[in-house]
Structures are given as structure tokens and as C-alpha cells.
Amino acid sequence: MTVKHAALAEKFIADEPRTNWHDETLWFVREKRDKAAHGLPEWEQLREWGSQIKNATLSNLANYLKEFEEKATANGIKIHWASDAKEHNEIVHEIIKKYGIQKIVKSKSMLTEECHLNEYLQHNGIEVVDTDLGERIVQFRKEPPSHIVLPAIHLKKEDVSATFHEHLQTEKGNNDPQYLTEAARQHLRNKFVESDLAITGVNFAIAETGGFVVCTNEGNADMGAHTAPVHIACMGFEKLIPKAEHLSVFLRLLARSATGQPITTYSSHFHKPRPNQEMHIVIVDNGRSKQLGREDFRNSLKCIRCAACFNTCPVYRRSGGHSYHTAVAGPIGSILNPNLDMKANADLPFASTLCGSCTNVCPVKINIHEQLWKWRQVIVSEGYVAGSKKISMKGMDFLFSNPKIYRLMGKMGRKSMQLFPFMVNNKFNVWFKQREMPTPPKESFRDWYLKNKKSQN
Amino acid sequence: MSARENILNVIAMNQPEFIEIPVIDSSVMIQYDDVYAQFKTVLESIGGKTELISDTSVLKQQLTADKQNGSFVVNTISALGEVDEQVAFLSASELEKVEKAYVKGTIGVAENGAIWVYESQMINRLIPFICQHLVLVIEKKDIVNTLHQAYEKVEVSKEGFGAFIAGPSKTADIEQSLVIGAHGARSALIYVIE
């Protein structure tokens, strides 16, 4: 089970120049984040407030949700509750059937990815057009997004050009991003003006006012939501914040952490439907209430989906989003997904060096690397690790608890590496892959210490 | 039991012990020596343009000139002349042809170049998004340092819709190359009245 991420990552890194490009590009985004963060002397205080507001929200969540429902209903918005992905998809499907809706546009929503809404609707003969440029690109290619903020970051412009040539009849070989974006603009403007239903995500839902905020740079959420006669906004219940004034803290943190921008181009605040428009909100649990009950993991629900942890992660940058085989990849995904399905996602908490960089950049101070380490312990005790890992861990346990044998093995290892280097420098040794083994030292630190301590005396 | 009750019950059971909401102390926030200069710098760095004007006469002339050249120009600001109230009733396919829209904003934010626009200032929610070119008008005295001050002045639930708009629509979804003009306005020109 635990080899899934490694096996998928191996495919990704087979193309070395592309892997390097992916690594450097995401690091560049991380650097932009640093620059934006350093521009505000109060940055660390903002992170602390962001964290505290989210802690306070989670501690009184049932009441805030009731308050939100009451206020939103009074605003003329219809609230739906879904226990899991299936219920979420059925609720959306019911609304579509009720109005005989044909034309659907959707802006970015990781929740609908998590629930596999597109596949569900497609299965029922209903087509959804993703309108975020990156999402449209991957939708054409029948791929999932590889990053929650930059869905097509695994692709090069040549790939996009080929995809658009096939689906939008753009000039073959024209790789100019300006030209390709313009083609998507024309194509999607037609989809917007014809749409019967707009589905959007939710960045923040405000308990105090019963409204919600959607952030985009492209304007695609607004183009759909203000055109279609029906708007459905889908949210995990953890998107809630208590008051409108808290938006200032989160909007200041979000875009700076995500891409280094001071704010997204559009931060749209929805409170009431337009005249003759219907507005629905689907509030989804899908394992979140269970995660809330896991003390060690509950604060993963503070996440505002900025993806700063992706961009900084040495493993994500060099393995690509698809190697995480889930809707939300990266470090945060690796602590959210085992909660949804521990067996299927048992490999993910191991796809980390535990370096802690994710925790350091998280705008709401989630202790991501500590949770990864804690998940490993849960997964091992539940028996979800591969046999080979279990055996090698048992072996190490034995070795490290028997100093004499440890010393003997160390000696044998050093000697054999000196005399028979081919014994470690071969393809059966995974540590030899893509790297040189270090020159073995002549003696162990212990031997050196005993010798030198003696000579000092 | 309905999904609603079930979810709320499990949450109530699983949520940690009550924690107070922190008080946000706005006195620690950044303050700029010249909020207009900061606003202009940030806005230009995100693809927008600013022009400082002493009164609305320049704007009125510009609007008249735009209207005369035959393209579909929408004015939603009464101080500039006749307001195109009919856009409230136009469909998206009709509004898709809007070349330029003049819209008044409530507050400008120096730290990020964003401008708050109420639904009533847009007349139709689609206007600032669907137009090819957006002209926003604010008053210099309405530029504040940060979002905290902006949210103190704006009442987000006063109307059915409102938005912070910061510059033109953009994307970097193709190889991280910045392209201005994704789905929304291709340009954003902000007139700041002294």
C-alpha cells in the first residue's frame, strides 16, 4: 500500500528537465509568498489571529453553523446539508433535474473535486464546464487538477497548445500563453452567457451575516454566478468564520500565502440572490465531523486552501500533484485524506521528509508536519503499512535496542563498503538510485570518542 | 434523523472546549506615509492604472467621447451624467457587448489596490466583470491603509452583493506566465478624485 505515492512519483520524475522546471517554478511561487509576507510587519501577528479565529470557530462550530443557516435563510438563500459526497452530489443533481437544467458552468471548488461531482453528473448524462482556465485545461485532458490553486502546473505551454488545438481548434504549434488564454476567453464567454446553472466553491462563509465570499483572479465565478438563474455554492462546513470583520485577517493572509499577490483580483461577497435568481448553499460534512473528533488531527480543519504548504514542500515539488492520487494533494492533503480513507491513503503521510517547512508557512498555523508524523503512528498501529516496511522497522527496532549487535553491524557495513563497494552501489539498493553512496568512515564516532577521550585523560 | 441534525449533533459532540474569539487590534497594522502613493504603486504592480484628477470634468469629457465613438459604453455614476439604468434588465448575452463601464467605488485599499463596489453602484452585478474595460472612480479621501479599515467602513451585508476589485482580470495558469484579461475586464483604470 505504502508504495503508491513512490511509484507514481517515479513516473513523474522520469522526465528530469520537467521535474526541475516544476520544482523551480513552485519554489518561485514560494519566494513570491515570502516577499509578500515580509512586506507586512504584522504578518506573524496575522497568522496568529488567523489561527486563533479558526480555533475559536471550531470550538463553537455547531452554534456558528446554526447562526449561519438562520441568517442565510433570512437572506433568501436555500441551505442544504450533506453528510457525505454521495448526498452532496444527489442534492446538486436534484436541483438540476427540478429545472431541467442543461448548461452548467463551474468555478473552482476543491470540495466538488473531493466529491467527484463532475463524474457523478456525467454518469447521469449531464455535462459540467469547468471555467477556471487551469481547470478547463485539465478537464479537456481528462485529468484531475494537480494543485489546488494552480490546477495545470504539471503542464507546459506546449501541452496546453496541443490540447487547445484539439478542442478549441487553435493554431497548431502556437504556444503563446496570451493567444491560448484569449482562445479560452472566447470559448468560455459563450458558455457563461448561455449558462442555466453556476456552481461555485466558497472561500469563507460568515456566520454573523449569512453570506459567503468567493475569490478568483479570472472573474469566472462572477461571470457564471451573475448570469445563471440558479447558483449553487458548495462548501465544507469548516469554511465558516464568525464575523465579517474576520475577513480582513483571512483575505490578507490568503492571496499572499497562495501566490504572493496582495489580494485576488475579485473578492466577491454574496448575501442575497438577484431578483428571480435562486441561490443554494450545500454544507458538506464528508468526514469532517469525524476529523473534528480526532484531537491530534482536528486543526487540519483550519485550512483555508492557500497551497503554501504545496509550494514549499520538497517532496511535492519533485513528485507532482498526481502522485498523491487524491483531490487535495500536498502536505495538507496527506493529513486530510487518511481521515477519509485510511487504507487507500496510508502511503501519503510517508510522502514527506518531516522537514517542517509546511508548518512554517501555513497562514493559520496548522502543525502539518507533526500531524504527518502522528498519522504514521496511527497507520502502523492499524496495520496499514506494507509488509516490507513492517519487517525493516522490526529489524531496526532490534538493532537499535542491542548496542553490541549495532556496533558489530556497523563495523561489518563499513568494512564491506570499503572492500566490496558493488554490494551497496547496485540497483537493488534504493538509496543508490540517482545518488552516490558516501565514502564509509574508517571508524565509528564511538570508536573515535573512546580513543580520544582516553588520550585526553 | 436528517443529515442536518446528524451533522450538527456529531459536531457538538466532537468540537473542543469553547475558546473566545480573539480581539483584532488594528493599531498594530501597517500605516503608509502616503496612502495614495501606495495605492497607485500596488495597483500598477497588479496590472491596473491610476489617474489623479482634480474634479469630474475630465471624466465627463472622457465619457462623452467614449459614447460618441459608437461602442457600447455604460455609465452607472450620476455625477457624470445620465445613468444607464436599463442595464439592470439586460441579459448576459447583451451585456457581453459592453466595451467600457464607468462604476463608482466606495473605498480604496492602499495595501492591495482593491476597491469596494456595492451592487447598487454596479446597477447590474455583471457589469464590472463582463465589460471589456473597467473604469472605477473613487475619492482620494476614501483610500484607507488596510483591509481592516475598509471592513470597518463597509457593511458587507447591506446589499445582496458587493466585491473588492483589484485591477484587471488575470491568470497565470499556463506555465505561470501572467496574462491580463482572463474572463473579466481586460483593463482597469482607476480615477482618483482629489
pLDDT at A420: 85
Name A447's Cβ contacts closer than 8 Å, sequence gap at least 6. Answer: none
Closest among A314, A320, A305 to A255, alpha carbons compared: A305
pLDDT at A457: 57
CB A350 within 8 A of CB A291: no
Q: How many CA atoms lie within 13 A of B14 on its CB side?
A: 22
User: Which of B171, B177, B178 has the most A C-beta neighbours within 10 Å, making it the best mutation to test the interface with A?
Assistant: B171
User: Which of A153, A158, A246, A263 has the most B C-beta neighbours within 10 Å, making it the best mutation to test the interface with B?
Assistant: A263
Closest among A31, A30, A29, A14 to A318, alpha carbons compared: A14
> Does the beta-carbon distance from B179 to A59 stay under 8 Å?
no
Residues of chain B in contact with residue A72, where contact means CB-CB under 8 angstroms, are: none
Q: pTM value?
A: 0.94
Residues of chain B in contact with residue A209, where contact means CB-CB under 8 angstroms, are: 156-157
Q: Would you state the cell numbers that stand for residue A104, as one nine-digit string?
A: 452548467
DSSP string, A262-299: SS-SEEEEE-SPPTT-EEEEEEE-TTHHHHHH-TTTGG
- Phi/psi of residue A46, nearest 5 degrees: -65, -45
For residues B40-52, average pLDDT:
97
For residues B58-75, average pLDDT:
95
Burial class (CB in 10 A: 0-12, 13-18, 19+), B80: buried
Nearest Cβ partner of A49 from B24, B96, B159? B24
Give the other-Cβ count within 10 Å of A351's Cβ: 24
How far is it, in rounded angstroms, from Cα B72 to Cα B82? 14
Residues of chain B in contact with residue A227, where contact means CB-CB under 8 angstroms, are: 92, 126
User: Which of B14, B117, B152 has the most A C-beta neighbours within 10 Å, making it the best mutation to test the interface with A?
Assistant: B14
> For residue A215, which amino acid is it?
C
Q: Which residue of B has its CA nearest to A51?
A: B22
pLDDT at B117: 98
> Does the beta-carbon distance from B156 to A289 stay under 8 Å?
no
Nearest Cβ partner of B177 from A155, A177, A218? A177
Q: How far is CA A35 from the centre of its chain?
A: 22
Closest among B39, B116, B148 to A46, alpha carbons compared: B148
CB A286 within 8 A of CB A88: yes
Task: Give percent above pLDDT 70 in chain B.
Answer: 100
> Does the beta-carbon distance from A192 to B172 stay under 8 Å?
no
> Does the beta-carbon distance from A220 to B92 stay under 8 Å?
no
Q: Would you state the cell numbers that stand for residue B42, as one nine-digit string?
A: 500596488
**Average confidence (pLDDT) per 10 residues, chain A, 457 residues:** 81 95 97 97 98 98 98 98 98 97 96 97 96 98 97 97 98 97 97 97 98 98 98 98 98 98 98 97 98 97 98 98 96 97 95 97 98 96 85 89 92 87 82 83 90 75
Residue B186 scores a pLDDT above 70 = yes
Q: Would you state the cell numbers that stand for residue B126, as one nine-digit string?
A: 455583471
Using DSSP, state whether A103 is helix, strand or coil. coil
CB B186 within 8 A of CB B168: yes
For residues B105-130, average pLDDT:
98
Closest among A32, A44, A11 to A360, alpha carbons compared: A44
Residue A386 CA: distances (Å) to CA of A57, A218, A350: 38, 44, 12
Q: Which B residues, 3 through 32, put their C-beta within 8 Å of a C-beta on chain A?
A: 3-4, 6-8, 10-22, 24, 28-30
Q: Would you state the cell numbers that stand for residue A208, as one nine-digit string?
A: 454573523
For residues B102-115, average pLDDT:
98
Residue B150 scores a pLDDT above 90 = yes
Residue B11 scores a pLDDT above 90 = yes
Name A80's Cβ contacts closer than 8 Å, sequence gap at least 6. Answer: A91, A280, A281, A282, A283
Using DSSP, state whether A211 is helix, strand or coil. strand
Give the other-Cβ count within 10 Å of A228's Cβ: 24
Residues of chain A in contact with residue B185, where contact means CB-CB under 8 angstroms, are: 219
> Does the beta-carbon distance from B171 to A157 stay under 8 Å?
no
> Does the beta-carbon distance from A223 to B126 stay under 8 Å?
yes
Nearest Cβ partner of A157 from B10, B113, B174? B174
CA dihedral over A422, A426, A428, A430, signed as positive or negative: positive
pLDDT at A442: 87
Cα separation of the two ends of chain B: 61
Using DSSP, state whether B190 is helix, strand or coil. strand
Strand partners, B171: B179
> Does the beta-carbon distance from B156 to A131 stay under 8 Å?
no
Taking only the tens place, the pLDDT of each residue in A71-87 is 999 999 999 999 999 99
Give the other-Cβ count within 10 Å of A144's Cβ: 18
CB A79 within 8 A of CB A205: no
How far is it, in rounded angstroms, from Cα A323 to Cα A328? 11
Cα separation of the two ends of chain A: 54
Residues of chain A in contact with residue B147, where contact means CB-CB under 8 angstroms, are: 247-248, 251-252, 263
Give the other-Cβ count within 10 Å of A135's Cβ: 23
> Does the beta-carbon distance from A218 to B169 stay under 8 Å?
yes
Radius of gyration, CA atoms only, chain A: 25
Biggest CA–CA distance in chain B, Å, is 66
Count, in order, helices (H) and strands (E) of chain A: 21, 10
How far is it, in rounded angstroms, from Cα A208 to Cα A244? 7
CB A158 within 8 A of CB B172: no
Tell me if chain A has a CB within 8 Å of the CB of B88: no
| Mean pLDDT across chain B | 97
Give the other-Cβ count within 10 Å of B25's Cβ: 11
